[in-house]
Amino acid sequence: MKLINVGSWSFLTGSDIADVVMTCSRELWAARRVEIATIPFLDDEGRIEETQFLIGWANPLSTVSVRYKGPELSDDAAVANLRRKLVAAGPSNVAAISYSDTEYPGTGFFDFDEL
């Protein structure tokens, strides 16, 4: 599970959902476009709710992996909708950055001194 941080709001959602939100946002940013992301999230009481927020150009967001004891939240329709937006954004020259080589095992924290 991952937290998606948008402005002063954070939404706990499934890792696959958060990953496609980030990828779509990056590509939209490169294309200088904005779309609305509609995704499920877990509220403070564990209920599945739905949120919408802007992704893409001039709308920074981040994700953070979190430990969660419940089942992974998934939504194939939301992921498919975001992937359609990703395809519509077209290809970009933005390279994906992976910090997996510098991640401290099991912590989700990175050693930025080694980048």
Chain segment 57-84, per-residue pLDDT in tens: 999 999 999 999 999 999 999 999 988 8
* Structural domain for 41, as ranges: 2-114
The tokens for 53 are 């927020």
User: What's the confidence (pLDDT) of residue 89?
Assistant: 67
Nearest to 6 by CA among 33, 39, 31, 32: 39
User: What's the confidence (pLDDT) of residue 31?
Assistant: 87
In eight-state DSSP terms, residue 107 is T
Instruction: Name which residue leads in pLDDT, 95 or 53.
Output: 53
Q: From the CB of residue 80, how many other CB atoms can be counted at a distance below 10 Å?
A: 10
Is the Cβ–Cβ distance between 70 and 46 less than 8 Å? Answer: yes
CA distance linking residue 36 with residue 63, whole number of Å? 17
Cα–Cα–Cα angle for 83, 84, 86, nearest 5°? Answer: 60
Q: What is the pLDDT of residues 4-35, one digit of tens each?
A: 999 999 999 999 999 999 999 998 998 889 99
pTM, to two decimals: 0.76
Give the chain's domain count.
1
Ramachandran angles phi, psi of 63, nearest 5°: -130, 150
Q: Indicate the pLDDT class of residue 91, thresholds 50, 70 and 90.
A: low
